[in-house]
Structure 1
């Protein structure tokens, strides 16, 4: 590993991404589930406004670093483990979590618990992806 290559940066961003995912999974979504029906619309809107910049702040560098890593370390096992985990998290976010949030913003109160449970399951997939990405990044850093 060199300080000029992507490995230390990928390790840093992958660790931040896993911390973010764990916070969402263990703190943010449980708090959303506890929002009373009469406060739901505002709670979900505040969450959406606040989380979007953080997602961009983490996912853009993550994707760029994964691309850089593939370009300079294509034969390293850690590269492909990090790419697999990162791709799982990013694709799951785009294909499942974001659309679920869209449905949650307009779902009737009776449908919300099922959607929130489904979102929790999807978030665990994203968290596993972030963990796998971090393991790959750690392998590259040694």
Structure 2
């Protein structure tokens, strides 16, 4: 049975949502609770360990969105838009905040990072039902 672009989009959005919810509910709260004395070491380890996973998940999302958008319906556009919001928020807000937090935990910047992360989580989760509608539609 051949894989459709919409089925791939559904799988990629589900993978992304699961990843993002794990980051939002488990990874970032633990990172935010890191004592200042341990911050640099823990933050560097976080970056080293999560970057390859981000690359794989985001590549899957981009590939799926690209394939599905070759012949899009409204549900594909909605799913891809939600994915775009999540990935764009990472590039425009989360990554720069991580850069500013590299040396020390600034409570204001950490609060911003957690808020930005919640936007990514909502967007990633919102993509799933849209992708499901595309896959069954």
Q: Does 1:58 align with 2:57?
A: yes
Cα distance change on mapping 1:87 and 1:135 into 2, 3 Å? same
The aligned counterpart of 2:12 is 13
Moved over 6 A (4+): none
Question: Can you give the 5+ residue segments of structure 1 that lack an aligned partner in the other structure?
Answer: none
Q: Does 1:88 align with 2:82?
A: no
Selected match of 1:116 from 90, 110, 114: 110
Alignment size in residue pairs: 136
The Cα of 1:83 is off from its aligned counterpart by 1.1
Selected match of 1:106 from 100, 103, 107: 103
The aligned counterpart of 1:132 is 126
The Cα of 1:8 is off from its aligned counterpart by 1.4
The Cα of 1:51 is off from its aligned counterpart by 0.7
Q: Distance in 1 between matches of 2:2 and 2:86?
A: 26
Q: Distance in 2 between matches of 1:58 and 1:46?
A: 19
Q: Distance in 2 between matches of 1:71 and 1:98?
A: 29
Question: Can you give the 5+ residue segments of structure 2 that lack an aligned partner in the other structure?
Answer: none
Question: TM-score w.r.t. structure 1 length?
Answer: 0.91
The Cα of 1:62 is off from its aligned counterpart by 0.6
Deviations 1:27-80 (A, max 9, x none): 1111011111111110100000011001100101211110110103x2x22111
